[in-house]
Structure 1
Amino acid sequence: MSLIARFAVTGVEPREVEGVDAAWVGAMTMYKTFAGGIAGTSVLLFVASGEVEGERSYFAAERITGSVDGGAEGSVTIHHGGLESSPESWFGHVVPHSGSGSFEGWAGTAKIEHDADGAYFVIDLS
């Protein structure tokens, strides 16, 4: 199964990481709303390094909760990241055995892509 899951970031909360100098790394909690492919919400821990727009790198752990066409409902965890300036470095995967409800058993890839309408996940379940 393949899903195109469009989302919008709906909230960002900067986080301090004790003992870490924020000049070289920053962390935040982000919130998203999904509409299309998946209807629902997510919360993620987002960590980024770099101060030059377009040349930063990030990684994130994201928990999505929602439903897909046909009524299947559940939650699943996705890890994703990469170097902004290098789309070939972008990665993402559905964490095996992280699903609940109808998403139990989900595994596969989950890359973020962009087009004129914004950002979206391409989720390919294996």
Structure 2
Amino acid sequence: MTSISGEFSVGMTTRDAEGESPAIGRMLLDKQYRGALEARGAGQMLATHGSTAGSAAYVALETVTGTLLGREGSFALVHHGRMDRGQPTLLITVVPDSGTGALAGLSGRMGIRVEGHQHFYDFEFTLPTP
């Protein structure tokens, strides 16, 4: 398994949740990854909150297009985040068989860290030898 880390920036645009519960928020994601992963991420996120402060959840699907260690292609990520009375859990994994181009066969998981106002990714993955 290979491990890399880098910075990313994220923009979120709120979208109307037509016909959906007002308790569910919908956002469009626009990310720029830098470092060993030089790519753009685009996706959608759904989020909701519980009745207790600090309890919430989100799910998202994201397509990442660019280069990973110099190999060009794209892949999809699925996000599952929970906050249970202030205790966070986050699981972001590569969608099986979603890799294209030189990223075909990619598998792995990604973590996100926020330090101050900076966002960082930690990506552990396997990628077949070309």
Give the alignment's TM-score, normalised by structure 1: 0.83
Q: Quick one: which amino acid aligns to residue 48 of structure 2? A: S
Unaligned runs of 5+ in 2: none
1:53: how far off?
7.7
In structure 1, what is the equivalent of residue 5 of structure 2? 4
In structure 2, distance between residues paired with 1:117 and 1:38: 20
Q: Quick one: which amino acid aligns to residue 49 of structure 2? A: G
In structure 1, what is the equivalent of residue 81 of structure 2? 82
In structure 1, what is the equivalent of residue 125 of structure 2? 125
| Bigger Rg, structure 1 or 2 | 2
1:30: how far off?
1.2
SS of 1:80's equivalent in the other structure is strand
In structure 2, what is the equivalent of residue 110 of structure 1? 110
In structure 1, what is the equivalent of residue 25 of structure 2? 26
In structure 2, distance between residues paired with 1:91 and 1:28: 19
- Alignment of 1:37 with 2:15, yes or no, is no
Alignment RMSD (CA, Å): 2.1
4+ residue stretches of structure 1 with deviation over 4 A?
Answer: 51-54
Asked if 2 retains the 8 angstrom alpha-carbon contact of 1:6 and 1:38, the reply is: no
1:54: how far off?
5.0
Give the alignment's TM-score, normalised by structure 2: 0.80
Q: Deviations over 1:43-63 (max 9, x none)?
A: 010111128885432111111
For these two proteins, the number of residue pairs brought into alignment is 122
1:106: how far off?
0.6
1:101: how far off?
1.0
